[in-house]
């Protein structure tokens, strides 16, 4: 029986995960395969309960599971802890590293009924359809870091090994091959040595994909182009920190980060989570948008379990409720009727 | 006699600098102080002529000058040279370091007649009025970099000294104090040690500026917020690489990077240049927009020479020609009459 580790986490994570599970249950009703769903603690909730952001039991369960479905973690309550014990450094980074989830994938596709939610002009974003691939277990996030005295200073090391770069570039090419065959590799090769290495490897790998067009773009220019002319992009591949910035930026094109799903993969195994955070300011109020989590669950069915039909059905159900005018607060325009978290989940189930 | 070193550089640099000089001459006609303008080689032009992107004579002249007015550098012709000899690494980074230009300042203010040139919705950008301050001589751009063998890898070190952080944060507070008194310090303190150090120092310096409101924002969120709700920002201060990305992103809010001036300062001394590059694709065709360079010249009068009145006059002249409908190709909408580089320069002179 395939196993899914469910980690609601903190803040709105505890409200959006139940909606995703509801939708999964409905979508999998007729599926011959039965899944085992087990809940575990992570983040601030785990700190409060067992004193550690990533308890051994949770990590262990995630290692044994086929897929992990995560809500969101963190909140002001834990921000005064030493950095390494906080939810982000204490759970998110280690879980990525321990599960070897080196590829973060975020599709950004305009949903026609949400065009007006974007802060960009309709004609600029209406055909946006891209995938941003971010390297997730290397680079400056995981490099040596520390302090010097006399003179006082602090440092972080950005280091990339050849194989780390090669496998993510390959995934970029594979993904582009299955789409419009355009790969944009983002770096800062005019200044950084790690970027020059990145670019060399991209050029090497390109030889194995003569059918895919590769272009290189500096990260400063990429940030600009995502706002200037986002429809030019098919697949973007980049290193960890540039990807952190560009995926969040790209998420704005669709109007709301509340719509953005993400998969963090190591081969077939994956951790699926919404691109947004735990939003402590609206937690516990039935206000959060569960759609990014629901779409993350669809990605899980597709990437880990090859249940493409079921994934399609969930995605279509989400598009349908939006077409019907269902809006959570983050998507609503003045005058729209606003649904709560639960009601939005119910609407998606009904649309299935 | 105050000295200005003029470095046209490459590509459109050679076309926009003459326009800025024309405008300066007109604006300074009645000024009792007389300026000495001297031209020097830099970038690809210098490589071609004397074999080095930053010739000793140029650097020397810049050191002796009160201000430097730079066009743009680089182009495909020199992209096959070893990285360190190329215009960017060979000239731009060393000149910043040698002149100690630690603060890059880019004002981003919406010019009402250009609202339609922005890819963001009018209601999102119409009141944009911010200054982005980027640390320019520290961090990962200037840190140790290199390669390892067995296993093959490449690295760059992000290192910041206390005094480097303190002086730029202080400039951020000073700038905010002269404006709406809101300073947003951007970092990635949830992951990077250098960012945690940055944040500590920002908190320390804040005690000396009780009248200025300080907030911290993670760089991924900042990229998002610049697109989601840019009017929230007054002054942004950040480190070198984050600043590289965010200044270019912020430049898109105004619709065209062709409008964006920048100052790189070390106290009163400054290097002034447009935020855009050398645009080899349109070089030599009288197509480039000279306004960013003209506005950079105005910044020079203001920051280095305290000629606020003359700076105001140039800025007002630019606003006026835009109000009159003058547009270079980058600003034009279908149907607009398009002016060339020279004609735009002439229009600004006439408006003075
Ligand atoms: C919380 C933080 C460590 C994390 C990251 O930067 O990776 C987040 O921003 C993300 O993008 O998942
Ligand atoms: C050309 C490059 C080295 C430079 C930088 O990143 O500093 C440029 O992008 C800039 O912003 O002035």
* pLDDT, tens digit (0-9, with 9 covering 90-100), for A298-347: 999 999 999 999 999 999 999 999 999 999 999 888 888 899 999 999 99
Global pTM value: 0.94
Residue A86: DSSP 8-state: S
Burial class (CB within 10 angstroms; exposed 0-12, middle 13-18, buried 19+) of A179: middle
- Tell me if chain B has a CB within 8 Å of the CB of A248: yes
- Do A158 and B146 lie within an 8 Å CB cutoff? no
Between CA B102 and CA B136 the distance in angstroms is: 5
Contact A133, A169 (CB under 8 A): no
Residue A206 confidence (pLDDT) above 80? yes
By the 8 A CB rule, do A166 and B158 touch? no
Q: A223-271: per-residue pLDDT in tens?
A: 999 999 999 999 999 999 999 999 999 999 976 788 999 999 999 999 9
Out of A112-116, A185-189, B303-307, least confident range: A112-116
The C-alpha atoms of residue A315 and residue A301 are separated, in whole angstroms, by 11
Q: Looking at ligand 2, which residue's alpha carbon is closest to its atom 10?
A: B244
Domains, in order of start, for chain A: 1-110+253-352 (3.40.718.10), 129-238 (3.40.50)
Q: What is the mean pLDDT of each run of 10 residues along chain B (352 residues)?
A: 97 98 96 94 97 97 98 93 88 95 96 88 95 98 96 98 98 97 96 96 98 97 96 98 96 84 96 94 96 97 95 96 93 89 98 96
Q: What is the mean pLDDT of residues A109-137?
A: 93
Catalytic residues of B: 141, 188, 220, 244, 248
Cβ–Cβ under 8 Å, residues A295 and A348? no
ω into B79 cis (within 30 of 0): no
B245 — contact with chain A (CB < 8 Å)? yes
Residues of chain A neighbouring B154 (CB-CB closer than 8 A): 159-160, 193-194, 196-198
H or E element: which one contains A69? strand A67-72
Sign of CA dihedral A330, A336, A340, A346: negative
- Give the distance (Å) from ligand 2 centre to CA of residue B244: 6
Q: Is any Cβ of chain A less than 8 angstroms from the Cβ of B223?
A: yes
- Per DSSP, chain B holds a count of helices (H) and strands (E) of 13, 12
Cα–Cα distance measured from residue A240 to residue B15, given in angstroms and rounded to the nearest whole number? 39
Name the strands in the sheet holding B153-161, side by side, starting at the edge strand that comes first in the sequence: A145-148, A153-161, B153-161, B145-148
Please tell me the predicted confidence (pLDDT) of residue B89: 86
Ligand 1: which residue has its CA nearest to atom 3?
Answer: A88
Are A119 and B119 within 8 A, CB to CB? no
Token output for A82:
């030493």
What DSSP letter does each residue of B119-186 carry, written as one string?
Answer: SB-HHHHTT-EEEEEEE-SSGGGTS-EEEETTTTEEEEEEEEEHHHHHHHHHHHHHHHHTTTSEEEEE
- Determine what percent of chain B falls in helix, strand and coil, rounding each to the nearest 5: 45, 20, 30
Give B258 to chain A, closest Cα distance, Å: 13
Length of chain A: 352
DSSP three-state, residue A180: coil
Enumerate long-range contacts of B76-84, CB under 8 Å, 24 or more apart. Answer: B76/B280, B77/B44, B77/B280, B78/B43, B78/B44, B78/B47, B78/B53, B81/B47, B83/A189, B83/A190, B83/A196
Which one has a higher pLDDT value, A48 or B112? A48
Q: Is the CB of B17 under 6 A from ligand 2?
A: no
The stretch A263-288 carries a mean pLDDT of 95
* Tokens 């834990």 -> residue: A78
Nearest to B42 by CA among B80, B98, B3: B98
| Nearest CA residue ID for atom 8, ligand 2 | B244
Report the pLDDT value the prediction gives residue A221, as an integer from 0 to 100. Answer: 94
Residue B188 contacts A, CB cutoff 8 Å? yes
For A:124-183, CB contacts with B below 8 A are 124, 140-141, 143, 145-147, 151-163
Q: Tokens 């917020």, residue?
A: B225
């Amino acid at each position: 029986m395939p196993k899914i580790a469910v980690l609601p986490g903190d803040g709105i994570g505890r409200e959006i995960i139940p909606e995703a599970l509801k939708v999964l249950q409905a979508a999998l009703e007729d599926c011959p395969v039965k899944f085992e769903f087990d809940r575990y603690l992570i983040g601030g909730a785990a700190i409060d309960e067992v004193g550690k952001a990533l308890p051994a039991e949770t990590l262990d369960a995630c290692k044994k599971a086929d897929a992990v479905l995560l809500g969101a973690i963190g909140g002001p309550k834990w921000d005064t802890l030493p950095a390494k014990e906080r939810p982000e450094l204490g759970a998110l980074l280690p879980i990525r590293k321990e599960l070897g989830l080196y590829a973060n994938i975020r599709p950004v596709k305009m949903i026609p009924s949400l065009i007006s939610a974007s802060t960009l002009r309709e004609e600029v974003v209406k055909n946006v359809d891209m995938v941003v691939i971010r390297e997730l277990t290397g680079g400056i996030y995981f490099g040596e870091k520390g302090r010097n005295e006399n003179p006082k200073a602090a440092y972080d090391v950005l280091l990339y090994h050849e194989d780390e770069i090669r496998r993510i570039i390959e995934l970029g090419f594979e993904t582009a091959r299955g789409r419009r065959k355009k790969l944009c590799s983002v770096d800062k090769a005019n200044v950084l040595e790690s970027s020059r290495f990145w670019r060399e490897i991209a050029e090497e790998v390109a030889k194995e994909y003569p059918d895919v067009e590769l272009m290189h773009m500096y990260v400063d220019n990429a940030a600009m182009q995502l706002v200037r002319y986002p429809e030019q992009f098919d697949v973007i591949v980049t290193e960890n920190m540039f990807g952190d910035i560009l995926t969040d930026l790209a998420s704005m094109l669709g109007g709301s980060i509340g719509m953005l799903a993400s998969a963090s993969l190591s081969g077939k195994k994956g951790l699926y989570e919404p691109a947004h955070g735990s939003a402590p300011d609206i937690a516990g109020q039935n206000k959060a948008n569960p759609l990014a989590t629901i779409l993350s669950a669809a990605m899980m069915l597709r990437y880990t379990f090859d249940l493409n039909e079921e994934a399609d059905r969930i995605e279509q159900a989400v598009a349908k409720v939006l077409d019907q005018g269902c809006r959570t607060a983050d998507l609503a325009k003045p005058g729209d009727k606003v649904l709560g978290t639960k009601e939005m989940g119910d609407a998606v189930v009904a649309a299935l």
